[in-house]
Amino acid sequence: MNIFAEAARLESENHPFALAQIIESRGSTPRHSGQMLVMADGTAIGTIGGGMVERKVIEEAIAAITERKARIFHGRMARNGENAVGSDCGGAMSVYIDVHGLRPRLVLIGAGHVNRAIARAAMPLGFDVHVADTYAASLEPSLFPEGVHLVHADSYGEVIDKLKITEDHFVIIATNNQDREALDRLITKPVRYLGLLASRRKVQTFTQALRQNGVHEDDLARLYAPIGYNIGAETPEEIAVSIMAEVLQVKNLAAGGRMKDDVRLTRDKLAVIRGAGDISTGVALRLFHAGFQVVMLDIAKPTVIRRSVAFAQAIFDGETKVEGVTARRAANAAEALAVINRGEIPVLIDGECASLEELRPRFLIDAILAKQNTGLRKEMAPITIALGPGFNAGQDCDAVIETNRGHYLGRVIYQGAAQPNTGIPGNISGHTTRRVIRSPASGVMRCHVKLGDLVREGDVIAHVGEAPVISPLPGMVRGLLSDGLNVPEGFKIGDIDPRGPQADYTTVSDKARAIGGAVLEAMMKLNRR
């Protein structure tokens, strides 16, 4: 078999494969030149000499296909030592492994004028384009560029089944009058991109109906609708440009927007937040959605109990998502700026704020909520804002935000301090202090339940060392420290919400939203001075 003819066929079908080619050999090796095709399942066509070295190259090729990235393999025909492959020939070989057949698949549901224009725009950009419709005449091949795959079925449900859509696919829905049928089938599929061509009113109607049918907010948050960028597009060709710009932004993990607004060129909208717990996450979300670029700083092992709504979880997991916004752990200030430009929120391990010198933010928000000033100074940024007691506006910061629940929650104070800490948790269904769980002993946390689990009074939900942690009342586990943290006796480690199934542990609290709005107000006012 001619492996290059086979490679051309696989490329035309967008079938993933790797081409392995000997680029250097020294001494005694099975072959000094040769090529081999390797499929994702390890099937090979051709040879580079067989034996242990070929097995190793096949393993490397499978890994390269998975990572979608070329690599060079160095192998020595020896039993031991660096790059040894487990043979006795004594030579050495280098193999270049390139990956092909990995064009991103763009699935267009509906074959009308806009999707035809999108197909024409997408083909030169390297997409593997598939167009589907229930009306056969709309799929006339002469209406589409060469190489587009056309799919017909009697219903959009059948169409979607035929397309075998996976999480790597980019999908755009643009039918004449059957958008809802297609959207119902696709909204819960974790595709790379799901866009809907529709008016704002239609989008609102659809999303409200989907909520009533039990579709989760995380699924709705993945929907791009209305689709594309607002560039005043009217013709199908102009609309296709606006849509493909958005698709490319998602594909390339870019932030979007104008190049001149790159955070590395101007820091006027850069805000650094100290702390990444649930309240500071509410602040971060409010600023992020208002168009600010946000960096969060925290310690290496933050003791956050409401982990499902805290960007601090990115420190443990590498990344986390709250209300559709992704936070990602960054190693340094330069990496943090790159994360911002991908449209995400970076979280840095930097309890001492050492990165401020390189970040140079215009705004610094102290959201540690330590009930005391742990190092904030007014000169640390042009505009400094602090949450809760322990700060004095006009002296160690420009503004203080009231964090006590009640009439003054969210009040912005430009001279003076917030109310003192009451030490009493917020009242939920008549419960205050009782719903908060504190460590019965000193030791390492071991959790037996997950956030969102329903528990009964008296259930053992964790251990600290050998001491059991008992649920003080029935309800939902809304907060619980991460496994493996070392905590002292009496430390706050959990929170039970007595509302049970009616509680929501996946979205930020009303208190966090109120405080976030107050921070935004203070930033806008102070920025005018």
Asked if 350 and 397 sit in the same domain, the reply is yes
Q: Please report whether residue 505 resides in a domain.
A: no
Same domain, 92 and 54: yes
Q: What stretch of H or E contains 445?
A: strand 443-447
| Coil vs helix vs strand at 347 | strand
How are strands ordered across the β-sheet holding 443-447? 467-470, 460-464, 443-447, 486-487
Do 464 and 417 fall within a single domain? no
Which uninterrupted H or E stretch holds 525? Answer: helix 510-527
In this prediction, residue 21 carries a pLDDT of 93
Say yes or no to pLDDT of 503 above 90.
no
Q: Looking up tokens 């500071």, which residue turns up?
A: 280
Q: Would the pLDDT of 224 be above 90? A: yes
DSSP letters for 183-238? HHHHTTS--SEEEE---HHHHHHHHHHHHHTT--HHHHHTEE-S-S--S---SHHH
Same domain, 324 and 445: no
Q: What CATH number has the domain bearing residue 172? A: 3.40.50.720
Predicted local distance difference test score (pLDDT) of residue 419: 92
Residue 82 pLDDT: 81
Of 65, 81, 100, the position where a domain reaches its end is: 100
Positive or negative torsion for Cα 182, 184, 187, 188: negative
| pLDDT tens string 133-142 | 999 999 999 9
Q: Which long-range contacts (C-beta less than 8 Å, at least 24 apart) are formed by 258-265?
A: 262/341, 263/293, 263/337, 263/340, 263/341, 264/337, 264/341
Domain boundary among 228, 251, 274: 251
Residue 444 covered by a domain: yes
12-16 mean pLDDT: 84
How confident is the model at residue 427, as a pLDDT? 77
Query: Residue 69: pLDDT above 90?
Result: no
Residue 352 lies in a domain: yes
Q: Of 473, 477, 474, whose CA–CA distance to 451 is shortest?
A: 477
Asked if residue 166 belongs to a domain, the reply is yes
Q: What is the mean pLDDT of residues 492-514?
A: 90
Residue 54 in tokens: 């070929």
Question: Which of the given ranges, 164-168, 219-223, 383-387, 450-454, has the highest pLDDT on average?
Answer: 383-387
- The whole-number average pLDDT for the span 74-97 is 82
One domain for residues 277 and 395? yes
What's the rounded Cα separation, in Å, for the pair 230 and 240? Answer: 12
CB 156 within 8 A of CB 109: yes
Q: How many residues does the chain have?
A: 529
- pLDDT at residue 198 in the model: 92
Q: Both 112 and 96 in a single domain?
A: no
- Residue 55: inside a domain, yes or no? yes
- pLDDT-above-90 percentage for the chain: 67
pLDDT at residue 17 in the model: 93
**Residues 224 and 288 both lie in one domain:** no
Give the end of a domain, one of 251, 284, 299.
251
Indicate yes or no: pTM above 0.85: no
DSSP 71-90: EEEEEESSSSSTTB-S-SS-
* Contact present, 37 and 3 (Cβ < 8 Å): yes
List of long-range contacts for 361-364, beta carbons under 8 Å, 24+ apart: 361/267, 361/270, 361/271, 361/272, 361/295, 362/267, 362/268, 362/269, 362/270, 362/271, 362/527, 363/270, 363/271, 363/272, 363/292, 363/523, 364/271, 364/272, 364/274
Confidence band for 178, pLDDT divided at 50, 70 and 90? confident
- Angle of CA points 159, 160, 161, to nearest 5°: 90
Closest CA to 223 of 286, 284, 179, 254: 179
At residue 148 the predicted structure's pLDDT band, cuts being 50, 70 and 90, is: very high
pLDDT for residue 259: 75
What value does the mean pLDDT take over residues 58-65?
A: 92
The answer to whether residues 182 and 273 belong to one domain is: no
pLDDT at 122 over 90: yes
Stretch 120-143: mean pLDDT: 95
- Which token pair is 334? 């330069």
Query: Quick check: 170 pLDDT over 90?
Result: yes
Q: Assess whether 399 and 310 both reside in one domain.
A: yes
Higher pLDDT, 106 or 212: 106
Domain that holds residue 93: 3-100
Does residue 332 lie in a domain region? yes
1 pLDDT higher than 70: no
If one compares 144 and 479, the residue with the highest pLDDT of the two is 144
Residues 13, 90, single domain; the answer is yes
Whether 198 contacts 112, CB under 8 Å? no
Same domain, 245 and 269: no
Torsion of Cα atoms, 321 then 323 then 325 then 327, to 10°: -30
Residue 503 domain flag: no
Residue 60, both tokens: 């490397």
pLDDT tens per residue, range 244-297: 999 999 998 877 777 776 676 678 899 999 999 999 999 999 999 999 999 999
Task: Answer yes or no: is pLDDT of 167 > 70.
Answer: yes
Asked whether residue 385 falls in the same domain as residue 306, the answer is yes
What is the model's pLDDT at position 136? 93
Domain-located, residue 294:
yes
Residue 402's pLDDT band (cuts 50, 70, 90): very high
For residue 92, give Cα distances in angstroms to 27, 130, 439: 7, 45, 59
Looking at residue 256, its pLDDT comes to 75
**Which CATH number covers residue 354?**
3.40.50
Q: Please, what is the average pLDDT of the chain?
A: 91
Structural domains in the chain (count): 4
